[in-house]
Structure 1
Amino acid sequence: MSEPVLDRSVRSPNFRRFWIGQSVSFLGSEVSLLALPLIAVVTLNADATQMGILTALGYLPFLLIGLQAGVWVDRMRRRQILVWSDLATAVLLLTLPAAALMGVLRIEQMYVLALLIGGIEVVSSVAHQSFLPSLVERRELPAANARLEGSSSVATIAGPSVAGVLVQLLTAPIAVLIDAVSFIVSALVLRSVRVEEPPPLPPDESVGMRAQVSEGLHHVVRHRLLRPLFSCGATHNFFRRMIEALFVLYVVNQLGLDPVALGLVLAAGGPGALLGAAVAVPLAQRIGLGRTIVWMQVLTGISCFAAPLAGGPPWLTIAILAAGQFLLGVARPVFNISQLSLRQAITPDRLQGRVNATMRFIMWGVTPFGALVGGLLGSAIGLRPTLLLAAVGVLLAFVWIAASPVRALVTVPDAAEG
């Protein structure tokens, strides 16, 4: 029997356990964020098209099961989903160093792992976002999300630099072991969280998957505040995935940086993200929630121009790339904390899973196409022109928010809408 949460605040033991578990997972994931592409580029000699396919497969599950994931989350205990997702991811990651040790590692295995881990991420991310409102009051969602983003920021600082050193000294497959261990630790910590969740959908309400999916989809598409949020997110993610698909290949092969330098560049986003997580709540209180979301998307777009403009001696190349990562690090936590807190606050408890899943289906469902387009364009017109085009697209995503009712919001609403 779950114990009721008496203290539904960011200071409660349950939230602290949840926070610790996610923080450990964040760190391991940051290690793999660099290690996995480096395996493809350095160990398997992947080209631009293969990197595009690899990135696309990681996001393809958002299209394949994105909407269904919301119904599954609403039908099950969300904490259990998080625990089993961590354990399954750990097992999958362990197959990489095992294959490398036996000398049978191939790009096809990377493709399969990207697809499977991406599928787990779709379900677990919806469960994560839907579980948080069970831990804290709605008015404390911005503070709770800020703490989680702060942990993510610390991981962003430590993860890439640690990964770069590990890859340089021990090879990328061995670095992936750290990520696998982190997911196991996260699962064990999450098992200790005791919270009274909203009851799963009873059998008589959960017989029709299509009807449940349709309810969440219609709620999101018709909502005056959610519609501009997913439009901005989809535009941003399409063009950002173009950049992501080519970034490691571009930096290593065209700009000539080694794994340690690449790790330092990516780690530069960490201090920015830490700053962003710290100022997100006071900034929104000062200039308004809506304006905060608009300006952080603009800053994100500006940061994306660093990659195509980088060049010159190695120190200058590293400085330009690091500056871009720092700006991106500042902007994304503030944007994410603001829009996610808004989304969670205006969504009824019974729809949390489906609304979060639908939003992610729309916003992330476009990412496989962005990655594929990035890879194909990179092969056709070159890496630098493709990165420049993608940066323009990311910048223009702010228009969706600037021209919507979201821009006028001063703070997070106290009650759900719809």
Structure 2
Amino acid sequence: MAPASTTGLWLDRNFLRFWSGQAASQYGAQITKLALPVLAVLMLQANEIQVGYLNASGLAAFLLVGLPAGAWIDRMRKRRVMIIADGVRAIALGMIPVLHVTGLLELWHLYLIALIQGTATVFFDVSYQSIVPALVPGEQIAEANGKLESTQQIAGLSGPAVAGWLIGLITAPLAILVTATTYLISLAALLTTRDHEVLRPRHHRPPLHREISEGLRWTLGEPMLRRIVATSGIANLSTTLIFTLMPIFVLRTLGFSPARMGLLLTVMAVGGLLGAASTPKLAKRFGEARLIPLAACGSALATVLIPLAVLLPSDMAFWLLAAQGMIANFNALVYNITQVTFRQRITPADLLGRMNASVRFFVWGIMPVAALLAGWVGSAIGTVPTLWIGVIGCLASALPVALGPFWRLRDLSTVVVHR
């Protein structure tokens, strides 16, 4: 457990080093978030099915290795896992500009690189969500999560716009090189960060399959956590149907340029930044427990605006999508900060990796399947009808928490669970 602090995280140099590295890598990730689909759709002429394959490749690892990754990570030092993952991601993405410059880049290269990067991201993200309690005292976990989420939204605020400019200036493959560099910056910051993680002795570790089962039982055994997993899983299934086809919808159907798409993502990110900053005040006003269904419903309702953009002129469509993104991202960040903090509070330290991996397995494991479905369905019935299917799914996703016990509670810290 991290030692108590009386100065706050703004004066915690160790946390600031960790935070700065993550800020760099999150900024770079936002650049690739735009550059990779632009590369596939505009430079390599990918169709709906091929875009689905690309998105599925990047997400497949959450389904394939998500569960054992959690058990493995609970046996290893999480900071070391993050360092290795950053190195792998930097090398994998660095291959894209190399293949482009040599004239060898093809779609199957992107599938393979996305798979490698996605696998490294599984290990990085599970460790990332599990290491916070080993960096800061328990009473500062929520503050740390809020700062980390705020940084991600600040990166989303400027990253896509810079990506659009870079794509126009040096092409998408070379813009991806910037992301590879930010992963190396994150790696360097992690090397100088110190944590207070205490690993279990080897003779206290049961067989791997028993550890995986224990993580699953813990995750699915608590009713409120089970409802959160259901809402998050259905939401990710539905939003993946939508956002797999968004590059085709925005770049081809609506005719936006990469720079305009980058600007759109930047405007959307304002909502997430406001949501991350507003979460503590909203939690005090409404209560953490009630904030979860409120935010889930708000995010789901906002998706209705996405397919309606096709009915409007280009300029009006831009601002409609911008408003939708701001509302959805605001609510999504409020929901994520609140439910992640709840999960970290109630889970014993030796189960954090397996709990987060179990949640990611259910919540993210469905996404590669959804990406493939988006490509197949979009090819069969068209992009806009597929978006409407995703919207219906988003509306349904709020039901598990909206119909749960959250309304009767106020403070999630009073929830008692038994191991």
What range describes the TM-score normalised by the shorter chain of this pair?
over 0.9
Are 1:118 and 2:90 counterparts? no
Distance 1:411 1:313 in 2: 45
Preserved CA contact (<8 Å) 2:35 2:167: yes
Shift of 1:203: 2.1
Map Cα deviations across residues 142-162 of structure 1 (whole Å, 9 max, x no partner): 211111111011101111101
Match of 1:266 in 2: 265
Alignment of 1:237-316 (within 5 A): 237-311=236-310, 312-316=312-316
Distance 1:416 1:86 in 2: 36
* C-alpha RMSD of matched pairs (Å): 1.6
Map Cα deviations across residues 120-168 of structure 1 (whole Å, 9 max, x no partner): 1111111001100112223322211111111011101111101111112
Aligned-partner SS, 2:9: coil
Distance 1:5 1:291 in 2: 31
Match of 1:330 in 2: 330
Aligned-partner SS, 1:413: helix
Preserved CA contact (<8 Å) 1:93 1:176: yes
Distance 1:167 1:305 in 2: 30
Map Cα deviations across residues 47-101 of structure 1 (whole Å, 9 max, x no partner): 0001111111111111111111111111011111111111110011000000000
Number of aligned residue pairs: 415
Preserved CA contact (<8 Å) 1:224 1:405: no
Deviates more, 1:264-273 or 1:174-183: 264-273
Shift of 1:414: 6.6
Match of 1:232 in 2: 231
Match of 1:210 in 2: 209
Preserved CA contact (<8 Å) 2:99 2:105: yes
Distance 1:347 1:414 in 2: 14
Preserved CA contact (<8 Å) 2:86 2:186: yes
Are 1:109 and 2:109 counterparts? yes
Match of 2:57 in 1: 57
AA paired with 2:58?
G
* TM-score, scaled relative to structure 2: 0.96
Preserved CA contact (<8 Å) 2:289 2:412: no
Match of 1:149 in 2: 149
AA paired with 1:116?
I
Map Cα deviations across residues 285-326 of structure 1 (whole Å, 9 max, x no partner): 110112211111112112222220103322111111111111
Shift of 1:194: 1.2
Preserved CA contact (<8 Å) 2:231 2:397: yes
Shift of 1:409: 3.5
Preserved CA contact (<8 Å) 1:291 1:407: yes
The structure 1 segments of at least 4 consecutive aligned residues displaced by more than 6 Å after TM superposition are none
Deviates more, 1:203-212 or 1:240-249: 203-212
Aligned-partner SS, 1:366: helix
Preserved CA contact (<8 Å) 1:4 1:194: no
Equivalent of 1:7, from 2, 5, 8?
5
Match of 2:71 in 1: 71
AA paired with 1:160?
P
Distance 1:141 1:332 in 2: 19
AA paired with 2:247?
V
Distance 1:233 1:262 in 2: 26
1:373–1:305 Cα change, 3 Å = same
Preserved CA contact (<8 Å) 2:18 2:190: yes
Q: What 5-or-longer segments of structure 1 have no aligned partner?
A: none
Preserved CA contact (<8 Å) 2:83 2:191: yes
Map Cα deviations across residues 189-218 of structure 1 (whole Å, 9 max, x no partner): 11111121122x322233511011011111
Preserved CA contact (<8 Å) 1:79 1:127: yes
AA paired with 1:353?
G
Identity, % of aligned positions: 35
AA paired with 2:353?
G
AA paired with 1:231?
A
Preserved CA contact (<8 Å) 2:2 2:134: no
Preserved CA contact (<8 Å) 1:306 1:324: yes
Match of 2:187 in 1: 187
Match of 2:383 in 1: 383
Aligned-partner SS, 2:46: coil
Q: What 5-or-longer segments of structure 2 have no aligned partner?
A: none
1:228–1:139 Cα change, 3 Å = same
Preserved CA contact (<8 Å) 1:5 1:195: no
Preserved CA contact (<8 Å) 1:19 1:148: yes
Deviates more, 1:351-360 or 1:3-12: 3-12
Shift of 1:415: 8.3
Deviates more, 1:222-231 or 1:407-416: 407-416
* TM-score, scaled relative to structure 1: 0.96
Are 1:21 and 2:21 counterparts? yes
Shift of 1:16: 1.4
Preserved CA contact (<8 Å) 1:289 1:410: yes
1:295–1:27 Cα change, 3 Å = same
Preserved CA contact (<8 Å) 2:2 2:133: no
1:64–1:380 Cα change, 3 Å = same
Shift of 1:4: 6.9
AA paired with 1:234?
G
AA paired with 1:188?
A
Aligned-partner SS, 1:225: helix
Distance 2:386 2:84 in 1: 39
1:58–1:323 Cα change, 3 Å = same
AA paired with 2:114?
A
Shift of 1:223: 1.2
Match of 1:349 in 2: 349
Shift of 1:401: 0.6
Preserved CA contact (<8 Å) 2:2 2:135: no
Preserved CA contact (<8 Å) 2:2 2:137: no
Aligned-partner SS, 2:194: coil
